[in-house]
Amino acid sequence: MPGVRRSRAGPILVVLTLALAGCGREPQLVDRQFLAFGTLVDVSVFTRSPERAHRAIDQVREALQRWHETWHPWRGEGLARINRRLAAGRPAELSPEIRDMLVSATRYHRLSGGRFDPALAGLVRLWGFNGDEDPPSRPPADAALRDWLAERGSVADLTLREDRVTPAGTGVQLDLGGFAKGYALDRAVAMFQAAGVENAIINAGGDLRVMGQRGGRAWRVGIRGPRGGGVFAAVEAADGEAVFTSGDYERFFEWRGRRYHHILDPETGRPARGLRSVTVITNAGGLADAAATALFVAGREWPAAARDLGLDQVMAVTDDGTVEVTPAMAGRIRFVDARPDRVEEVSWQ
Ligand code: ADP
Ligand code: MG
């Protein structure tokens, strides 16, 4: 009825105009939390349009939860289907997303001298770090590890042509866990951009990406301390930056007084040694995540590995508790409680 329409048009127009104009409201912080990627994701948006922010966060939450399922190496019909084909020595069709991830992951494999390898699903499973379940209670048998090392393949053994991947044998299955979170946060940032969200921080259990600012000031973010000791340092993160940390405290078990954790050295087939944690700041989540894993594997040789990956903002905590920083990182990091006993700037040219 025309009468009814007329009486509604006024309020609807007003609401629309206010929403489009940002309605002159004071910007406010919208903060939401949800579970995805096996961790608590915290999203903060600084905005004049909380409705828009909530809608965009709903989209991001749905996507992150879906990706986590689709990228599971053994469960479901996404990456798991591809892995079943590869295990049978047969070619597999890739979705555009997984293809894109494989292309990036192959580049990080090369740039990291093979330390980052997204083809370690079999090894990760041998160690029992493959699921969302509790970690195992003891290392695999030496014989099983020897067999794995003898048959060992890498992502470089896969041939990618258009959207089809072909294995050389049966030993290579994909585990994108070393950089899936970073890649996912990059995609989430793109979703926010498309939705008109400009100032936000998406923090997945301490690994995060930053967009814009918070009311004209940089977002201040915490860096996780080694051995899960809470926030240990803080940094003001600029628009577009990603801050990622890999550590030996995320998933581990102890056996006969030794710690066995989930970041594996493809060279030895065993948990990497030398560092407790590595934090990387750069301008893309996928690179930051893959690099944090790769530098953790590099151990005390991390500075050379960082240069090869084109990074200059890195902090590593070594086995004996020394905090090693690149000059670019030293210039911006603030320790939250007491300054650690030993902080050393590594030489850099
Ligand atoms: P988190 O995901 O806990 O932040 P990482 O980004 O370092 O930590 O990823 C660790 C995960 O990556 C492991 O659980 C495993 O699935 C996978 N992984 C382990 N070792 C490697 C490696 N050398 N290269 C690539 N991925 C790895
Ligand atoms: Mg990683």
| pLDDT tens for each residue of 228-249 | 667 889 999 999 999 999 988 7
Q: 214 phi and psi, to 5 degrees? A: -115, 95
Cβ of 297 below 6 Å from ligand 1:
yes
Cβ of 118 below 6 Å from ligand 1:
yes
DSSP 345: E
For residues 61 and 41, the answer to whether their CB atoms sit within 8 Å is yes
Instruction: Give, for 54, the enclosing helix (H) or strand (E).
Output: helix 50-70
Mean pLDDT over 32-49 rounds to 96
SS3 label, residue 301: helix
| pLDDT tens for each residue of 56-83 | 999 999 999 999 999 999 999 999 999 9
Cβ of 178 below 6 Å from ligand 1:
yes
Nearest atom of ligand 1 to the alpha carbon of 246: 7
Residue 143: per-residue pLDDT: 96
pTM of the entire structure?
0.91
Residue 133: per-residue pLDDT: 67
The residue whose C-alpha atom lies closest to atom 15 belonging to ligand 1 is: 177
Return residues with CB closer than 5 A to ligand 2 (ion).
178, 246, 289, 292-293
Give the chain's mean pLDDT: 91
Cβ of 112 below 6 Å from ligand 1:
no
Residue 6: per-residue pLDDT: 44
Our mutation pick for probing the ligand 1 site, out of 208, 263, 275, counting the most ligand atoms within 8 A of Cβ, is 263
Residue 23: per-residue pLDDT: 53
How far apart are the C-alpha atoms of 41 and 201, rounded to whole Å?
10
How far apart are the C-alpha atoms of 294 and 306, rounded to whole Å?
9
Residue 349: per-residue pLDDT: 79
Residue 2: per-residue pLDDT: 39
What strands lie across the sheet with 164-166, from one edge to the other?
Answer: 92-93, 164-166, 159-161
The residue whose C-alpha atom lies closest to atom 17 belonging to ligand 1 is: 178
How far apart are the C-alpha atoms of 77 and 197, rounded to whole Å?
32
- From the CA of 246, the nearest ligand is 1
Nearest atom of ligand 1 to the alpha carbon of 297: 23
Percent share of the chain, pLDDT over 70: 91
- The DSSP line for 215-259 is TTBPEEEEEEPGGG-SEEEEEEEPTT-EEEEEETTSSEEEETTEE
Cβ of 73 below 6 Å from ligand 1:
no
- From the CA of 269, the nearest ligand is 1
> Nearest-CA neighbor of 165 among 121, 106, 114, 212?
106
Q: What share of the chain is helix, strand, coil (3-state, %, to 5)?
A: 40, 25, 35
Cβ of 177 below 6 Å from ligand 1:
yes
Nearest atom of ligand 1 to the alpha carbon of 37: 2
Quote the distance between the C-alpha of residue 178 and its chain's center.
Answer: 7
Residue 20: per-residue pLDDT: 53
- C-alpha 98 to ligand 1 mean position (Å): 17
| pLDDT tens for each residue of 215-233 | 999 999 999 877 766 788 9
Mean pLDDT over 144-158 rounds to 93
| pLDDT tens for each residue of 284-332 | 999 999 999 999 999 999 999 999 999 999 999 999 999 999 999 999 9
If pLDDT is split at 50, 70 and 90, which confidence band does 5 have? very low
